[in-house]
Amino acid sequence: MNRSEPLDHLEHLDKELVEELAQVARVTIREELREQTRKQRRTAVLYGASGAAALYAGGAVVVAVGLALAIGLPGWAAALITGALMAAVAFALRASAHSSSSEHHPRPPHRVVGGTPPVAPPGGLGMPYPPIPKNPPETPADLDDPRR
């Protein structure tokens, strides 16, 4: 008597159980992802609306500064000064963003930790840079120099 014969009638139960478990897992994961994306979409919309409102508020402030300057100056001078102020603010913001981005990306160490750097690149293409000569190269002017 073959040992697998008594279990043959259970084989279809295993397949059905696996299919049912897979279906339940798919449905659960799909519902979880929908809920997460719904929350993220709402957050993204609120951030976008906040940015748009801040842009309009900044524009209103710039117009107010220009109009305040226009009280004592011609309109073109007030606009020029306002534009220069906005350029300075933009430059300062760019500089601060540039410095903060370099803080998040660590620089590679100046030496190899735990050993010495390889003599040749990993590709085996020879030396990583040409050797430095001991003496500077001679030029035709050097050869004509009587002091040599």
CB-based contacts of 127, cutoff 8 Å, min separation 6? 119, 120
Q: Per-residue confidence of the chain (148 residues) as pLDDT tens digits?
A: 455 565 566 666 677 888 888 899 999 999 998 888 888 888 888 888 898 898 899 899 999 999 998 999 898 898 899 889 888 888 888 888 877 666 555 555 555 556 666 566 566 566 666 777 888 778 777 777 766 5
Please give the model's pTM, rounded to 2 decimal places. Answer: 0.41
Q: Which residues of 31-56 are buried (b: 16+ CB within 10 A; e: fewer)?
A: eeeeeeeeeeeeeeeeeeeeeeeeee
Q: What is the DSSP letter of 132?
A: P
